[in-house]
Structures are given as structure tokens and as C-alpha cells.
Amino acid sequence: MTQAEGPPKGAADIAAQSTALNRYRAVRQATEALTRALTPEDQQAQSMPDASPAKWHLAHTTWFFETFLLEPRLAGYKVFDPRFAYLFNSYYEALGPRQPRPQRGLLTRPSVDDVLAYRAHVDAAMARLLADGAEGFEALLDLGLAHEQQHQELILMDVLHLFSCSPLNPAYAPPRSAGPAAPPPALRFHRFEGGLVEIGHAGDGFAFDNEGPRHKVWLEPYALADRLVTNGEWLAFMEDGGYARPELWLAEGWARAREEDWRAPLYWREGEGGWSVMSLRGLRPLDPAQPVSHVSFYEADAYATWAGARLPTEAEWEHAVAGKPIAGAFLPSGRLEAAPAVGGEGLRQMFGDLWEWTRSAYGPYPGFRPAAGAVGEYNGKFMAGQFVLRGGACVTPGGHVRASYRNFFYPQQRWMFSGVRLARDAA
Amino acid sequence: MTQAEGPPKGAADIAAQSTALNRYRAVRQATEALTRALTPEDQQAQSMPDASPAKWHLAHTTWFFETFLLEPRLAGYKVFDPRFAYLFNSYYEALGPRQPRPQRGLLTRPSVDDVLAYRAHVDAAMARLLADGAEGFEALLDLGLAHEQQHQELILMDVLHLFSCSPLNPAYAPPRSAGPAAPPPALRFHRFEGGLVEIGHAGDGFAFDNEGPRHKVWLEPYALADRLVTNGEWLAFMEDGGYARPELWLAEGWARAREEDWRAPLYWREGEGGWSVMSLRGLRPLDPAQPVSHVSFYEADAYATWAGARLPTEAEWEHAVAGKPIAGAFLPSGRLEAAPAVGGEGLRQMFGDLWEWTRSAYGPYPGFRPAAGAVGEYNGKFMAGQFVLRGGACVTPGGHVRASYRNFFYPQQRWMFSGVRLARDAA
Amino acid sequence: MTQAEGPPKGAADIAAQSTALNRYRAVRQATEALTRALTPEDQQAQSMPDASPAKWHLAHTTWFFETFLLEPRLAGYKVFDPRFAYLFNSYYEALGPRQPRPQRGLLTRPSVDDVLAYRAHVDAAMARLLADGAEGFEALLDLGLAHEQQHQELILMDVLHLFSCSPLNPAYAPPRSAGPAAPPPALRFHRFEGGLVEIGHAGDGFAFDNEGPRHKVWLEPYALADRLVTNGEWLAFMEDGGYARPELWLAEGWARAREEDWRAPLYWREGEGGWSVMSLRGLRPLDPAQPVSHVSFYEADAYATWAGARLPTEAEWEHAVAGKPIAGAFLPSGRLEAAPAVGGEGLRQMFGDLWEWTRSAYGPYPGFRPAAGAVGEYNGKFMAGQFVLRGGACVTPGGHVRASYRNFFYPQQRWMFSGVRLARDAA
Amino acid sequence: MTQAEGPPKGAADIAAQSTALNRYRAVRQATEALTRALTPEDQQAQSMPDASPAKWHLAHTTWFFETFLLEPRLAGYKVFDPRFAYLFNSYYEALGPRQPRPQRGLLTRPSVDDVLAYRAHVDAAMARLLADGAEGFEALLDLGLAHEQQHQELILMDVLHLFSCSPLNPAYAPPRSAGPAAPPPALRFHRFEGGLVEIGHAGDGFAFDNEGPRHKVWLEPYALADRLVTNGEWLAFMEDGGYARPELWLAEGWARAREEDWRAPLYWREGEGGWSVMSLRGLRPLDPAQPVSHVSFYEADAYATWAGARLPTEAEWEHAVAGKPIAGAFLPSGRLEAAPAVGGEGLRQMFGDLWEWTRSAYGPYPGFRPAAGAVGEYNGKFMAGQFVLRGGACVTPGGHVRASYRNFFYPQQRWMFSGVRLARDAA
Ligand SMILES: [Fe+3]
Ligand SMILES: [Fe+3]
Ligand SMILES: [Fe+3]
Ligand SMILES: [Fe+3]
């Protein structure tokens, strides 16, 4: 049976690249590196409507550059295949009709090889376009690169979900040889005074439109846990009836938990020898020291209630990391899973390891206005019904996140690399 | 065919009542007055899972007093029928299992007469309990009364929905004889400076737990429209392709609009002679001057986008009415529908007429903590996925709302008396 | 709480009536007698799409006479309310659009009283039409009467289903005082030689179109059980894992049984004291001697397989009763439930007690051709996907069935008064 | 883009093979020949729950030989991978749990290459088992071969369905160069006297259990059309409102047609230049002379009603071909689509071209008893709810069908190569 032979190379940190073309190439090659361990069959299947085939990700990100950069800006550019606009448009209404999302897995043509040829075609044209840099469209190039990085993470999320549906429990990468981790340090809370603070992106670097405008927010005194909730702590929640006590849950969360018979995080499996966890490195015994991952907002909120705490708001989270370096276990670490917290002072695991659920509904910041045209559909139209997550994860490409970065998912979704950091009122 | 003979008497304003018992009686009688125009058959049917039979409302509100006041506080109280705890518990997990919500319409027993006997039994016991006032449980009594008033409004919402499902278009109340209204005054925006303001309930009077704690919020300068959006303005939106242009819509709203084939507000009907509107007074020609009602959050948001505006936040809304009298067309007006705006200066229709959608997701205020016990399930467990509406409507009992009052519904729901007030950034 | 005080009078046997008008009146009055024990609320509710409100049955049968007899044949007849054609047409495509079936329970208007007025209006007109007999339209009158009798049975089926949905277990009629029945006689098989036989209706009396033409069928030698399967025998099937052994079931039956978690016949309820059965006489302890009822075709087939037998074909069933009197426990018996088999020789319970599932798919007999016009939709268009049941039940009006009578239901349906008679090859 | 270069070789007629091993090899190689034109991606996707990935078919048929022949009969046989019993069991309850049918497309592992290795492993073992013939298990071997042939046809059905879901309209095989066919001969009916006839399999050769026992049936005089209904005739039906006239349809068929918005056969596509048809040879202009294919039972029945005819019963069909040679356009013809009828006398197209819907519900013949053990689940448990089709199609392997062969599908299914032959009463 096909098996990945070695660990996939983490997507390179693109910040170090000197030219626009080099940055472009670094991102593009990182994507292809991620799919190298996958067979054509692996890249074809779509395990649920929320997920997409890896092949589709490869093509869609390519279409993005073709559509938003090459067609409007590269004189004489010839579209690879005009039918791809229908196949690989994700959700841009302004760009016409498209393959229904739940049926992306039915597109057996073009093949993986055809898609790689498409990538090569677009890469060659991008090399011409970027030969003299990206002056005048730096922001759009950055958007395309950030977009492709988001899909790098999605490829890993979607592959894990796909493999979790197989009774064979395939591993995307070989297991790491490390023994069981040391128990994590006891959880402590760090107090913040709050007051009238500012959050949101400011400055010259690239950011998504939804990260701004920078604006004032009043914060009451609060405290944040200094590390993520662990599998061991989650087990205690479960053993205390966490999944069976409606008083801990939001009404919608409880209804969903019953409908889908939630009894543990998404990838936990109970066997004779206790709990295992399906991961990108295959099915492995549960490690109590590891941060709990693949939990929904509803579960995170129920856990926090059980723990006598709450989830942080996104403003609390962002204020807490203001001015801190963006260091943590991202994709370049090669871990492909969250690492147990190390000892020490101060907040740990704020960046990397796992996206952290906040209690903030994803909405527009004061003064937010989406960009004009199709690109304005990127973020703004999703500002209802979802919740914000912060900080990036072990599958997030290097250099991708910022303190102001707002990820967002529906409260019932679980296939992201999501974890839990507790918060408290500190008044 | 059965037909209501006269206008139902609006629910009395209970603020004027001098004693606890008088207040109790006023509210209880107001509920029964609302069902007097309904046949037993009308009171039996459940037109959708979100709605309940009028008979069920009559019983459930009674069960609330029995459960939260009589059982724990009236010595020797004998429960009317112990099986009713299963039938008429709405959603209190702490109080045990209950009739599944979508099947409330299958409870043909007890009959309407039996339910009225249940009400009389509980009312008699409440008279004993309240003989010397409500000292020590004033808050719980107020909660029970506010709860029953909410169900008064639900009765009218649910009856309208039920009648809207009948090809016979039954009228809950006879039509009013007034001719077409004068055109509404041109819409103007009023500017507010914002800054660091406070919202949330404070003071001695009753409020729901979700209205507090009172807390600071920073507001950028903003402007509010001085009246509600009208049917005539909505028609212009429709004629400009409002329901066919995805660029105006949130992604979820657009998906829902297509799934359910929305082409107009919920109760609009297109006929040979143009548009009519189903109302509590039957099917009537659309009045362009009347505020548009029964629109979802998604529609309200799309309209605002089309109009080059946005919806207000709940803090903006509340700050705008701070210190203003709570005057407007509520249920005691006897109108049963929203009235066209009158001319004049300043904000009109902030209270009464129609609930106003805000762009604020319904969540906990900083420091919010639900009450202990079953009563803590009243509001807190719904704080995900819904949006806040403000100000009350023409079917809201007199004296029920406050400036800090937070109503909440899902963004796709339309059977509430919901309308649209526009807002703008004023920087 | 409302409660029926005495046993409802069984629908009279109409064969004894001397004139067309008398026959008409007997049937119509029998229908109204059946609804007398029901409150308006009981008559309003629709417990599932397959069932209809009793009020709807009262009106629909009336509309049938109005549409097929009065409108075309009674000069000067004035339709009671032209809107009723939409409300009370069941499934006649040729007669235009109609209230969607699952939403019959939302028609709170007309009220029960209004429907009774409708019935009186049509009855008065029918009295004029039938003043001189029914010459020239005898067949259509018979069809209308047979139709109303079918709805009498449906009223009882639908009321039982509705009451089975109530946690209060309401009784349509008071319990009978009889003690537990004597054990039924041991089951024996009666052999039939078969050969080239004839089945199907022939002769002068009324029959539905689907009972003809009479035609030849070749039968191999076979045997029929001399009585129905009992509750006690069904318990043995259950205790032997009947609902948990896929090898006993048709594939579709097994899938359905798992989807809907079948563990016993539809109205069986397990409690601390053992099994009870919900019936028209309320919830009562299971009587092992009583024939098992309210089982689907799939369950009947699985039982037969378990018992080393099979279900009879409809031709085998009909050949077995050829020339026998149509005697059995029908509605006029007043039992409202199947009676235990008595001792004796020969086949018992062939008529009355319970409809008997056959293994025959419901299809057209050779040479069958439906009538022209709307009335041709009565039976023919349902000839796919259903299975034939034979013999009538304890809720079937007197004089309604014949040896050639073909009832038909979907193999997953269970709310009919259906039972099981075993058959075997006898070669 | 990948494209099939030449016509796939038709599956060989296995009857000519002299030894058991040769027969085995011929069938196995024919299966692999059919998948050679498919990419790994094509073989991975599952386009609907009714269809399976080609890769799954390759493995499942192999598992069948492994399970029913090698494991019980070949001493020392070592199972290729014990986990495959879960992955590739289709529906045999007696053999334990299995991958849910709708999720076969999620099994990206084993890969196509792994499955081919599995086939080679089993083929080598089968060569050992069959080295001295198949004495004592000839029937089981024949069942395995007939089973694999059924899956050959399913591969082609499922690939066509998959490709029909792609906006690119991929072709499984290149188009044939023939110009438009000559108009078909006028349709004539051939009369049969009927009487007491026999149908069902008899004799020494292999047949499925559902084809017996041979038994007597009485047939009234009838007539069969001498050829299949054509696309041109179907167009006339459509132009006469065939899909919009409920009076032509069975009630269930009409409901389904409205739910799924049927307006033409499954693979017809309307464009500016008129109708095209998606086929194994790609999207091609509709040929009026070609037999209409990919219609449901409901459509076939509605067409017959429109044409003043009916569908034949399976007994009529079988009696009509009694003693005739089994000659027709099967898979070895290499056509991959139905051919227009040629002129001549007598019935044409009875075998090959398209499966012919009968009006016979699929049920057990008198005296039918399924085999003991898992293999008894092959046919018997599906004997409810389906209809019989007869005669084989252009995608049916050579030598596979018999006069007594009973194919069966649900009345709403359309992805089989199904067509329509009309019948009439001839009395
Ligand atoms: Fe994208
Ligand atoms: Fe309530
Ligand atoms: Fe009827
Ligand atoms: Fe198979």
C-alpha cells in the first residue's frame, strides 16, 4: 500500500524571500510539496461538502492568480482552459456560475497531471509578469499568496478528514519517534487591565481587509490561561459527564451534539486499549499532555463553562499579544500536530499549535468596507453566523498569521486544527 | 365561517397596576383576551416548528408560574396535572424531558377548555400567593409576567403565520377603515458623536439578565435614519433586482434566499392587481407608506447594502434612545400592524411599530453570568448564532420593552414583526 | 379532560337499506357518529403526512358527492363554497391544484361546525337528487358510498395514530370489561389444490375497478394457516431476535427497520410491567391471544421467514374464500380491535379482525383499464410500489368488503389495522 | 487532458472457453480491459450512492472469489488483506459489517495499483484452485463469473453517470464515425395467443436462483411491439406534453418527476442547437432513430399510456422469445450504445441494445427458495419494490443473459441502459 516515505517539508517562510517572484515561487512550490505524499486517488476524493479534493485546491489557487493577476495584467496571456473558470471558481458570484461545492469530488478530469500542467502554465506566465517585480499590484499579489497559503492549510485539514473516513487509518506522514510527553505545567491565569485599547491591523504590511480598520475597544480587566487546554483535561471533562450535561452547553450546541452523537473530539477513537487519536501521522494513542484539538466552538464553550471560565473575546486575545513576536509551532516546524506546552513564564502557545476559539461572533469592524469587485467577496460576505479563531496552528504556513489575523468558522465545525484557551473576568 | 367580530383589546399596560396581584391579573387576562377571537381549531394547529399552538402558549405560561412560583413557594399547592410538566415545559433541560417542539400541535388533549381550567386553577393559587404582595420573589414574579407578555406577542406572530398558510386568508381582526396613508417624510440621517458610552440595564426596575451588566462601549461617530424603511422603498429595492443580485447579500443569506426562493418579504403576495400583504387584519393591498415588515436579517442587510448604508449596532441603537421616553405604537394601540411614520423632527418609530434588526450578533455582555438553576436557561443558552433586534413592535404588550431590551432571532427567521432602520458611519 | 363516555356505534351495514337515499343517509350518519367522541381539537390535528384530520375526512367525502354527483347531475345546485375544491380535493389531478397533503392540519378554517354545515348542505341536495332513486348513476353513487366508508376506516386509523402521539394516551372509546382471553387454538394449515382458477370481481354488485377483470390464474398446491398470528407468537419472534437478525428480512425492510429503530409492532410500548399496546380503547396490557396488528409488510414477511412459512399471494387468499360467506368482526361488532381466534374447524378470521398482508405487489389485473375522467384516478394510478391486503378489519364498515376486495399500502406503512396469516407451498 | 485513444475491447463471450480456468481468465481480463481507458482519478470517484467507483468494482468482484471460493476451498490460501472484507463486502449481512455504500468513494486506499495487485494475488490462487477444473463447485464458480459480468456492466453504467456529472462531458470511448441512421421501420405489433405457458429457467446451464423454479402462468392473448421505442417517438411524447400531464403518470412517478424536475430522459441535454445526449462516446446530437434509453419505469409507463399501449409483463416477454436464439447487440459488439432497429419481419431488439422495462414487480416465483448461507442474499432479499427488466443491453457482456434472465431496478432509477417495448391486450 502506498505510504508516505518521509516527513513532508514544511511550507517555507516566505518573508525571507527577496523578490516578488521568489516569494511567488516559494509559496507555489510549498503547495506542491504538500501533495507529494498523496496518490492521485487521494487527491481526487472529497470527504464532505466543507472539504475539497487536494487536486481542486491545486487548481483553484492557480485559477486565482490567472483570474486576478494574469488576465487583467499580463498582455497576451492565453488562458489555459476557459472551462476551468467554471470548475475552479470557489464562491465568487461576480465571476459567474461554478461547479456546486459538494460535487467537486466528481471532477475526475482534469487529472492531477493535467492540473500540474495548468500550474506550470500559470507559473511560467507569472514569471513573466513578475520579472520586474509587482509594482502597482503588490497588494493583489500578496492576497494571492496569502490565499494559496490558506489553501495549504486546507489541504492538510481536508486530507486528515478524508483519511479519518477510511477504516484503514492512512497516515499522511510517518509517526514521530518521541515518547510520551512530560505532563504539562499547571494552568495559570495572567491578568490584563484592559481599558480603552486598540485592535485591528495598522501599518504597511499585508493584511486581509477583515483585519481593519484599526479601532478602539473598551476592555474590562480580564485574565487569560497561560497555555491551551490539554487532552488530559478534556478527558476529565468527559469523565465528569461533559457530553451528557445540557446545563454546560449552549442550546444550539446541545442540539447539535445530540443530533451527531458527539462523545469526544472529532478524531478521538475509543478502543479496547483506551482512546486513540487520528492525526496526520496516523492513528496514535492519546497523549494527555498534548493540547486538545478538533473541537467545535460549542464544545469549547461547554468546556469553559464546566471549568468555571469562559472563552476570550478576540479583542482580549489580540490585546494580550500586542507587540509580542509571532513565534510558535507552525507548519515549518514539521510537527503536523500541536505540541505540549513547555514550562516557563507568561503566555505560551498563543501563536501556532492550534487556532484558539474566541467567543466573538465574526462581524465587520467599525468602518469596515469590503473592496470593490469580485475580490471584495473574499471575506466580507461571510460575516454572519461564524466565530473568530486566533493565532494559527501547526498546519499554518510560516509567516502567514499576524496578531490581528482573524480566522472564522461555524460553531459546529470541527475539522480545523482548533483548540481552547480559557479566559476569565478579572474584576 | 367563524370571523372575529371586533378588534381585540390590546394587552393592558401593566405598569399602572398598583399591587402585585393586580399586575398579575392584568397580564393573565390580557393573554386570554388575545385568544378570544380564535376557535378551538385555530388554537390547536402548529404551522411550523418555530411556532406553537395558541393553546400551548396559554398552558405553557401557566406552567411557568406553577413551576417557578407555586410549587416552591405556596404551601400545600397541589399541581393541576403532573403530566403537564412534560407537555408544557418549553426548553428547560433542568426540568426534565418534554414534548418535542415540532409536535406541540399533536397535543389535542388537554382541550382549550381544559387549559382554561388549568389557568383558573393556577390563577386562584396565585391569588393566594400574592395576597400579601410578592416580597422576596418580586423578581421572579416580574420574570413570569414578562415571560407571559413575550408569549402574548408570540401568540400573535404564530396566529399570523398559521393564517398565512391558509388559502382562505383568515383575518384575526377586522380591517381598519383608514384610507391609504400619506407618503412618508423623506428619510434623513441623525448624527451621533459616540465616544466612550455606556449601555445595558441599570437601576431598580425589572430587566432580563441578558440586558446587563451595564458596561462601557466605544462608539465611532455614526448616524441613524429618522424612520423605518417603507414598503415603497422596499419595492424600489425589488425592482432594482434586490432579490437577484448576490453582490448585495451575505453568502449565507444568498444561499437561504435561493433555497427558499425569496422574492419579497414573507407575507407579500403577488396577484393580478399588484402586491398584497397578509396581516392580522387579513389580506390587504400593499401600502407603500407603511414600514416594511417580516423581513429576515439577511434581507435587511442586503437592503442596507443596496441603499449604501448599513444596519446599526445594538450599542448605537441604545445610545441613541438613552433618556428618551418609551413611547410608540405597541399592542395597546390596537393597530396590530406598523403605522406609517409621521412628519416631524428627530428619530421616530424607535419604539413600537417594528422590531429593528441590528448588525450585532447576540452574545453575552462583559461580565454576564446567567442565574443559577433552571431559570438561568431563560436567555443565556441562546447566545450563539442569533442577531439582536431592538425597540418592540405593534404586537408587543404595553410597558414590556426598555431601551436596554434585547430581542433576538436567527438571521433567516421572518415571522417576527421585524423591520429595518438604516445607519451610517459618520466619520 | 374530555373523554368518550360510551362505545361509538358501529357504522351500520348499508346492504339492508331499501332505497338509494336510505343507503346514502346510513353511510353519512355513520361517519358523523364516528367523530362524535372527538373534540374540535382532536378533529383538527394531523399527526403525519399519511394521516388526515378527522375534520378533513368529513369535508373531503362531502366534496366527493358534491363534485361527482351534485355538480354534474343536480340542476340548479349551488356549490357551498367554491374555495373548498382546493381545500378538500385529495389527489385528483384532473380537478386542479389542491392543499398539499402534509398541510391539511393547517386548515383551521372552516371549523368543525362549518364542515358540519357543509355536510348538511350537501345532504339536503343529495336528498333532492336521490328523491326518485339513482337510476343512471347507481355505480357512481355506490362509489361515493364505498369511498366514504373507506374514509370511516381512515378516521379511526388516523385518530389512533394521533392519540398514539400523545403522552396522555387518550382513549377513543372506553375499555371493554372482558378478562384475558383464552389461549388461541394451535395453528394449523389447510391445503388447497390450486390449478387453473379464476379470481377477480364478477357479477352485478358494486366493486372497485381494481377488482377486475375476472381472470384465470394458475396456482400450485398451497396451504393457509387457519388463523392469524397472535401477539404471543410475535413475542416469541422478538425473543428469538426477530428484529435483530437481518437474514430474516428483505433488504429494504431491514434498512427501514434500522432507520426507524423498529423493535416491536407500531403501537407496542415497553414498560416496567412488560408490554402494553396503544389502541382505540387506550393503552392496555398486551393480550397474547389477540392477533398481532399494526405491522408492516416488511415485518410480516420477516415473521413468515422466521416461522418457516411465507405470506399468501392474493390469488391464493381469494381462491380460499371463494363461495364463503363474508362474516367476521367488522366495525358493527363494536370491538374496535381484533378478537382472538375461536376454536373450530376450517379457516377463521379470513374476513374482519385485521387486513391480511399478501406477498402480491399491487398491480393491474390482465385487461384492467381505469375509468375515463377524474374518477379513473381512484385506484389505477397507485399501481406501483404497494402490496395488497385482503379481508377487512375490525374498523372496516359492515358490508364494505368482498372476496375480491383489494386494499393496498406501502410495505413500510404500519398504521393500518394489518395482521399476518401464514402460507406454505404444499407440493 | 487524458482521453481514451481507441474503442475498449468488448468483454469476450465466455461460452466459447473450454476449461474452467480459461473461462475464469476470460472474464477477469475482460473486466480489466474495461477500466484501461480510465485514469486513477476516474476510478476513484463515486457519483451517487447507487453507483460505485470502478476501483471498488475491481476489488469487490475479487473479494467475491476470495470469500466464496478460495477461503473455503483452497487449502493454505492466505487472504491478501484481512481488512478488505470490510471494504469490499457489498451487502452480505452474513459476512459482517461493511463500508457504508454511499462512502465507497472515500476509500482512496488501496490505490488502483494496489487493487490490481489484489486481483493478481487472487487470480494466481484461483489458477491453483482451478488447475484440475471446478468439479464440485461449478455452480459457485459460474455464480462468481456471472457476478463479475454484472459488475462489468455496472462499471460502464457508473462511468457514464460519473462523466455525465462533469461539465467537461468526458468520453469513455471515441465517437463512431457513422452518419445519422436511416429512419426506423414503422412500429408493428405481433400477436401471441398465450394460454397456459411455462416460464422460468430449466435445464442444465447456469442461471441465477431468481430465475426459477420454472412454473406455469396463464396468459391472455397479447401483442408486443416489434422494436424498441425511439428517441424520435419520445420527442413526440415530450412535444405533446408528456412530462407535464399527470393523467399519463402513476402517482408516485408524477411525484418523483416533479421533485426531480424531469423533462427528458436522464442524459438528454437541451442546447441552442437542439437536443444532445450524453453517452459513453461523449455528448452527441440526438439521433431520432436510436432507441430511447436511460428512462425510468415511471417514464416508460407514462409513455406507454400516452401511446395507448402498456408495458409487457415479464411472462409475456419471456414467452415471446421462447426457443429463439439469444442474438443481439451486447458488449462484444463494441457499440456501447443502442443501435437503431433494422427492417425485417418478427420481433427485433429483444436481446441486447437496451434492457426492457416490464410491468412486473420483482418478486419470488412460486416455490422460490433462496440458497442457504451468505450466497442466498444474492437475489432473494431484494424482492420488494423493484420492477423486472428483460433482455440485456449494449453494455451487457456476451453470453451473460438468457431468456429467463431477470434484471431488476427501482422504478425511479434511470442510470441503467433501459428502454421501452410496448405491449397490448390482444383479446
Ligand atoms: Fe479560495
Ligand atoms: Fe416560554
Ligand atoms: Fe378520498
Ligand atoms: Fe456484487
Tens-place pLDDT, residues B253-270: 999 999 999 999 999 999
Q: Do A215 and B217 touch (CB under 8 A)?
A: no
What is the mean pLDDT of the segment spanning A102-107?
98
Tell me how far apart the alpha carbons of residues C20 and C1 are, in angstroms, rounded to a whole number: 40
Whether the CB-CB separation of C297 and C321 falls below 8 Å is answered with no
Residue B295 is predicted with a pLDDT of 98
User: To which residue does cell 417557578 refer?
Assistant: B68
Average pLDDT value for residue range A147-165:
98
Torsion D394-D395-D401-D404 (CA) sign: negative
Q: D381 and C250 in contact by Cβ < 8 A?
A: yes
Write the pLDDT tens digit of every residue in A233-285: 999 999 999 999 999 999 999 999 999 999 999 999 999 989 999 999 999 99
Chain D residue with Cα closest to C381: D250
φ/ψ of B373, rounded to 5, equals: 85, -175
Q: What is the pTM of this model?
A: 0.95
**SS3 label, residue D59:** helix
Cα–Cα distance for residue pair A227/A340, rounded to 1 Å = 9
CA C59 to chain CA centroid, Å, is 19
Counting beta carbons within 10 angstroms of the beta carbon of residue B327, is it exposed (0 to 12), middle (13 to 18) or buried (19 or more)?
exposed
Coil, helix or strand at residue A189 = strand
Query: How many angstroms does the Cα of residue B147 sit away from the middle of ligand 2?
Result: 6
Check whether A1 has a pLDDT greater than 60.
no
Q: What strand order describes the sheet that includes A423-425?
A: A189-192, A222-225, A423-425
Q: Calculate how far, in angstroms, residue C90's C-alpha sits from the geometric centre of ligand 3.
A: 6
Nearest CA of chain C to the CA of B40: how many Å?
6
Strands, sheet with A268-271, edge to edge from the N-terminal-most edge strand = A268-271, A274-279, A282-285
Cβ proximity of C278 and C166 under 8 Å? no
Q: Determine whether the interchain pair C108/B45 forms a contact, defined as Cβ–Cβ distance below 8 Å.
A: yes
User: How far, in Å, is the centroid of ligand 4 from the Cα of D90?
Assistant: 6
Residue of A nearest to B359 (CA): A363
Nearest-neighbour CA in chain C from B104: distance (Å): 10
Considering only CB atoms, C166 lies closest to which of B1, B106, B114, namely: B106
Note the ligand closest to the C-alpha atom of B68: 2
Q: What is the mean pLDDT of residues B29-54?
A: 98
Is B41's CB within 8 Å of C42's CB? no
- CA C396 from centre of chain: 6
CA C1 to CA B114: how far, in whole Å? 6
Q: Which of C259-293 are b and which e, b meaning 16 or more Cβ less than 10 Å from the residue's Cβ?
A: eeebebbbbbeeeeeebbbbbbbbbbebbbebbbb
Do the chains contact at C106 and B39, CB–CB below 8 Å? no
Q: Which residues contact D320 (CB under 8 A, 6 or more apart)?
A: D190, D192, D224, D312, D347, D350
pLDDT category at A11 given cuts 50, 70, 90 is: very low
Do residue C382 and residue D251 have CB atoms under 8 angstroms apart?
yes
Please give the full DSSP string across A268-285, using - where no structure is assigned.
Answer: EEEETTEEEEEETTEEEE
Q: Which residues of A touch D113 (CB under 8 A)?
A: 2
pLDDT value for C15:
53
Distinct helix (H) and strand (E) counts, chain A: 11, 12
Task: Find the A183 Cα to ligand 4 centroid distance in Å.
Answer: 51
CB-CB contact of C121 with C84 (8 Å): no
pLDDT (0 to 100) of residue B9: 40
Judged by CB atoms closer than 8 Å, whether chains meet at B250 and A382 is answered as: yes
- Site of grid cell 407571559: B148
Cβ of D384 within 8 Å of Cβ of C411? The answer is yes
Q: Do chains D and C touch (3 or more CB pairs under 8 A)?
A: yes
Q: Out of C99, C106, C114, name the one closest to residue B47 (CB).
A: C106
CB count within 10 Å of CB A273 equals 7
What is the radius of gyration, based on Cα positions, of chain A? Answer: 21
Contacts C114 to B, Cβ<8 Å: 1-2
In order, the DSSP letters of D263-308 are -S-TTEEEETTEEEEEETTEEEE--TTSBP-S--HHHHHHHHHHTT
Check C384 against D253: CB less than 8 A apart: yes
Cell digits of residue C194:
390450486
Q: Which of D93, D250, D381, D386 best tests the C interface by mutation, with the highest count of C CBs <10 A?
A: D381
Per-residue CA distances from C332 to A386, C10, C14, C399, D160 (Å): 62, 4, 11, 10, 59
**Ligand 1: distance of its center to the CA of A154 in Å?**
9
Q: Is the CB of B220 less than 8 angstroms away from the CB of A366?
A: yes
CB C396 within 8 A of CB C154: no
Say if residue A245 is exposed, middle or buried (CB neighbours under 10 Å; 0-12, 13-18, 19+): middle
- Asked whether the bond before A213 is cis by omega within 30 degrees of 0, the reply is yes
Residues in chain C within 8 Å Cβ distance of B170: 108-109
Round to whole Å and give the CA distance between C368 and C386.
17
Q: Does A touch B (3+ CB pairs < 8 Å)?
A: yes
| Per-residue confidence in pLDDT tens, chain C, 427 aa | 333 333 344 444 555 567 999 999 999 999 999 999 999 999 999 999 999 999 999 999 999 999 999 999 999 999 999 999 999 999 999 999 999 999 999 999 999 999 999 999 999 999 999 999 999 999 999 999 999 999 999 999 999 999 999 999 999 999 987 666 788 889 999 999 999 999 999 888 999 999 999 999 999 999 999 999 999 999 999 999 999 999 999 999 999 999 999 999 999 999 998 999 999 999 999 999 999 999 999 999 999 999 999 999 999 999 999 999 999 999 999 999 999 999 888 999 999 999 999 999 999 999 999 888 888 899 999 999 999 999 999 999 999 999 999 999 999 999 999 999 999 999 7
Packing angle, helices D20-35 and D54-65, rounded to 10: 160
Distance from CA of B383 to the nearest CA of A (A): 7
Ligand 1 center–CA B356 separation, angstroms: 35
Contacts of B186 (CB under 8 A, 6+ apart): none
Q: What span, in angstroms and rounded, lies between the C-alpha atoms of D259 and A254?
A: 33
**Lookup: cell for C327:** 362474516
State yes or no: pLDDT of A390 exceeds 60.
Answer: yes
Indicate the SS3 state at residue C31.
helix
Q: Report how far apart, in Å, the C-alpha atoms of D397 and of each of D155, D251, D352 are.
A: 12, 35, 10
Chain C CA closest to residue D315: C366
Q: Which residue has the cell 444596519?
A: B311
Best D93, D297, D382, D386 residue to mutate vs chain C (most C CBs within 10 Å): D93
Distance CA D14, CA D146 (A): 10
3-state secondary structure of A185: coil
CA dihedral of A267, A270, A276, A279, whole degrees rounded to 10: -20
- The answer to whether the CB atoms of A40 and D42 lie below 8 A apart is no
User: What is the nearest CA distance from A82 to chain D, expressed in angstroms?
Assistant: 11
- C contacts of D360 (beta carbons < 8 Å): 363
Say if the Cβ atoms of D111 and A83 lie within 8 Å. Answer: no
Residue of C nearest to B97 (CA): C167
D384 and C217: CB-CB below 8 Å?
no
**Is the Cβ–Cβ distance between D14 and D145 less than 8 Å?**
yes
Partner chains of C (3+ C-beta pairs under 8 Å): B, D
Q: Do A385 and B252 touch (CB under 8 A)?
A: yes
DSSP D209: G
- Contacts of B among chains (3+ CB pairs under 8 A): A, C
Ligand number, closest to the Cα atom of D62: 4
CB A264 within 8 A of CB A238: yes
User: Which residues are bridge partners to D390 per DSSP?
Assistant: D356
Query: For helices A54-65 and A138-164, what crossing angle results, to 10°?
Result: 170
Task: Name the strands in the sheet holding C387-390, side by side, starting at the edge strand that comes first in the sequence.
Answer: C407-409, C387-390, C355-361, C418-419
pLDDT in tens, chain D (427 residues): 333 333 343 444 555 567 999 999 999 999 999 999 999 999 999 999 999 999 999 999 999 999 999 999 999 999 999 999 999 999 999 999 999 999 999 999 999 999 999 999 999 999 999 999 999 999 999 999 999 999 999 999 999 999 999 999 999 999 987 666 788 889 999 999 999 999 999 888 999 999 999 999 999 999 999 999 999 999 999 999 999 999 999 999 999 999 999 999 999 999 998 999 999 999 999 999 999 999 999 999 999 999 999 999 999 999 999 999 999 999 999 999 999 999 888 999 999 999 999 999 999 999 999 888 888 899 899 999 999 999 999 999 999 999 999 999 999 999 999 999 999 999 7
Q: Considering chain A, what is the average pLDDT of its residues?
A: 94
Q: Give residues with Cβ within 8 angstroms of D38, minimum separation 6.
A: D54, D159, D172
**Contact across the interface for A55 and D41, Cβ inside 8 Å:** yes
User: Percent of chain B beyond pLDDT 70?
Assistant: 95
CA distance D390 to D357: 7
Q: How far apart are CA B417 and CA B420, in angstroms?
A: 11
Nearest by Cα to D359 from D301, D425, D309 = D301
Nearest to A250 among B218, B367, B384 (CB): B384
Contact A216 B218 (CB under 8 A): yes
From CA B341, how far away is CA B344, in angstroms rounded? 9
Distance, CA of C154 to chain centre: 7
For cell 421501420, the residue is D185
Q: Among the bound ligands, name the one nearest to the CA of residue D90.
A: 4
Residues of chain B positioned with their CB less than 8 A from the CB of A252: 382, 384-385
Give the per-residue pLDDT at B14. Answer: 55
Exposed, middle or buried: residue C82 (CB in 10 Å: 0-12, 13-18, 19+)? exposed
What is the distance between the alpha carbons of residues C417 and C328, in angstroms, rounded to a whole number?
14
Chains in contact with D, where contact requires at least 3 CB pairs less than 8 Å apart: A, C
Dist. CA C401 → ligand 3 center (Å): 17
Which residue of chain A has the CA closest to B96? A246
Q: Give the D-side interface with C, CB within 8 Å.
A: 91, 93-94, 196, 215-220, 246-247, 249-254, 297-298, 301, 359-361, 363-364, 366-367, 377, 381-385, 387, 411, 425, 427
Question: How many other β-carbons are positioned within 10 Å of the β-carbon of residue A85?
Answer: 18
Residues of B with CB below 8 A from A210's CB?
none
Count of CB contacts below 8 A, B vs C? 101
**Cα(D71)–Cα(D62) distance, rounded to whole angstroms?**
12
Encoded amino acid at A376, one letter: G
The secondary structure element, H or E, covering residue B390 is strand B387-390
